[in-house]
Amino acid sequence: MPAEFDEDTAEAIDIADRLLRGVAIVGRWSGATIEADGDLRAFLGDSEHGVMLEYTATHRLQLGGHEITIGEVDYRLLHARMAPGQAGEGMIRLIPGSSDRAELRLIGVPEVERLDGVTSWVPAAMLEPHVGRWVAQSGTRVIASGDTFADAAEKARASGRLATIWRVPATTEQAEALSAF
Amino acid sequence: MIVPYRALPGSVQARPFLDVLVGPAPFRVAGLVDSGAVHGLFHPDVAAEADIDLSGAETRPIEIGPRRVLAEVRFLVVPLEYEGVTWEAELGFTESMTLDWGLLGQSALFRWFTIEFRTYDDEFELTPISA
């Protein structure tokens, strides 16, 4: 387990974890590079609007110098277009067209059962912005914070995601406290 | 089920917390896994936010902490869930507990799972006990 990881890695772990749990992920995308033949190039054309593109690829998680193969994932990009200035065969760079919505779903049998030992772990450094506050933690991410337990719980409810509500200690004394007052 | 210890800012030692669903709550709460504790204890605000009615709970006094504070604790059997594994256990709710996190002791957790602590790897492993 790495000692530290950044927000991007935390998000990548979160996505992999949710895929393994059978959750269809709906979000935004900013770019992708895929192998393309002439037919795909013709399909994509040179539309500014872009086209709906669906493809299957192996999803991998890079973690602390290790690569974990998650499984085959169906990617649906609405809408994709070729980045300007590309010619010839081989890999092409895709960018969003009129919509940057993306959907991901694991298909078939995953390569790993789950991400035991990784997915509920948040490095202390990532909690520092929330010191003394109540947080709603989902997987490796803090999805909301508030001044009270009820506040954080309400924000978690509103997000529609199952989260753990807890308070990040403000001091060493609190962090190492017994549970009872 | 391998669960990483939680590293808290300000502490050099991560500790074993388990994020459990308590009753019908639409959120999880953190419980410190404590083999030395008899009960599972949480602050009553957890019950309130989770829509758990404590009006029919059995009230019993217990001493809490090194100052031997005598607390009135409302005990109720509630369903608990962790990662799809469910069990029913008696939990106590008392304002003598911090709201920051609860306590998962023998009657709330250890009688339902084999638990192996691996502090050298900052993780513990829960294995549900077959019925």
Tally A–B CB contacts below 8 A.
Answer: 115
| B contact set with A (CB within 8 A) | 1-4, 6-11, 13, 17, 19, 21, 26-30, 32, 34, 41, 45-46, 49, 64-66, 69, 71, 96-103, 121-123
pLDDT digits (tens, 9 = 90+) for B64-114: 777 777 889 999 999 999 988 999 999 999 988 888 889 999 999 999 999
More confident residue, A174 or A155: A155
The residue among B8, B21, B85 with the most chain A CBs within 10 A of its CB, best to mutate, is B8
pLDDT at A3: 41
pLDDT of residue A87: 67
* pLDDT tens-digit series, residues B7-49: 777 777 888 999 999 988 889 999 999 998 889 999 999 999 9
Predicted confidence at residue A1, as pLDDT, reads 39
Between CA A89 and CA A38 the distance in angstroms is 7
Encoding tokens for residue B91? 């939990």
pLDDT above 70 covers a percentage of chain A that reads 82
* Beta carbons of B100 and A164 less than 8 angstroms apart: no
Specify the higher pLDDT residue, A124 or B100: B100
Residue with tokens 């504070």: B69
Q: What's the pTM?
A: 0.65
Helix (H, G, I), strand (E, B) or coil at B110: helix
